[in-house]
Amino acid sequence: MSSTQKLHDLGQSLWLDNITRAMLDDGQLQRYIDTYSVTGLTSNPSIFDAAIASGLYDGEIASLAKQGIVGEDLFFTLAIEDLQRAADLFAPVHERTDGVDGWVSLEVSPLLAYDTDKTVEWAKELHGRARRSNLFIKIPGTPEGLPAIEECIASGVPINVTLLFDVDQYVACFEAYLRGVERRIAAGLNPAVSSVASLFISRWDAAIATKVPEELQNELGLTVSLEAYRTYCEIMSSERFQRVANSGARMQRLLWASTKTKDPKASDTLYIKGLASPFTINTMPDSTIEAFFDHGEIGASLPTDGGDYLERKEKFAAAGIDISALGKQLQKDGAQAFVKSWTELLAKIEAAAAK
């Protein structure tokens, strides 16, 4: 049995953190589903920026531009077409799991990360245009994104909350989701609106690589994960969640994001082995999932009580790392990085349209 199948059988969903027109056309995505136990897919502005740069979209971009479709509208036309095809490939998983798995994700413009009203407007618009029940709209878990998340859930739009880094951000995201669910219950609506909370892992270790002793390198991401998983398990057993679950609500699943190892000296499957945990998702790029399929090992499941996360945090504090401040900075930097990719993406589309 392959390592990817073993991880799937442990109870973790393996999602691909990539999409290109090529992998849809040549059957690569279907092979990942059939061979690597992949059951979902995520995308972001950086991923689409790289896809557009391949030149495979140039002909369609030029055609759409001649029809007067330009800028962001042109991009979303291309992205939705790809994600509709991917969503259809995952539809059997979605149906078999009664909507728990088999999702794809499309992100709102990163330029809206700090604009609540516009985020809600675009999330509803994009979900309506996609016409797929297994498509998440990605909204950043910034302070301004939280009320947008609540409003979208209350409106029945499934949401993938992105750019979460620390436990405080994760809890705030879950509470926004829960408020949306509670509003649906109060209104007599079906509360089973799906959502995932995407916690970014590897960027923690990249941020402090030169600031901590060797024994603490590549350990902060896993430390944050231990605390987050403990919190996730506590939330699932909380009275507040159990009340809404009794009305038909579902748990907002925890998703491990940014799980490609950044340190070339570390294992290329570091964050796959270290984040094995049931009823969670690990979304990983092609190279990481292929590496795990080839030579990955499954570690012990994350402890539901967080294990030694407190002792680990104390070591980082002693090394001068302010985890709370760093989490805020990472979220800010992540939002800015997506804006940069978005700007470059639109510039590539404009150049292709002008050919």
In angstroms, rounded to a whole number, what is the distance separating the alpha carbons of residues 343 and 172?
29
CA 323/CA 166 separation, integer angstroms: 8
The maximal CA–CA distance of the chain, rounded, in angstroms, is 61
Cα–Cα distance measured from residue 224 to residue 307, given in angstroms and rounded to the nearest whole number: 12
Distance of CA 173 to the CA centre of its chain: 13
Q: Which two tokens mark 287?
A: 């190279």
* List 138, 260, 262, 348, catalytic entry: 138
Beta strands in the chain (DSSP E): 12-17, 38-42, 104-107, 135-140, 159-164, 195-200, 253-257, 280-284
The answer to whether residue 211 is catalytic is: no
- Residue 174 and residue 147 in contact, taking contact as beta carbons nearer than 8 Å: no
Tokens for 295? 């030579």
Tell me how far apart the alpha carbons of residues 125 and 111 are, in angstroms, rounded to a whole number.
16
Q: Which of 135, 134, 143 is nearest to 163 (CA)?
A: 143
Query: Nearest 5°: phi and psi at 157?
Result: -95, 120
DSSP 201-226: -HHHHHHTTTTS-GGGTT-HHHHHHH
Among residues 337, 10, 4, 17, which one has the least CA distance to residue 198?
A: 17
- DSSP string spanning 84-116? HHHHHHHHHHHHHTTTSS--EEEEPPGGGTT-H
Contacts of 4 (CB under 8 A, 6+ apart): 14, 36, 37, 38, 289, 292, 293, 296
Q: Which residues are catalytic?
A: 138
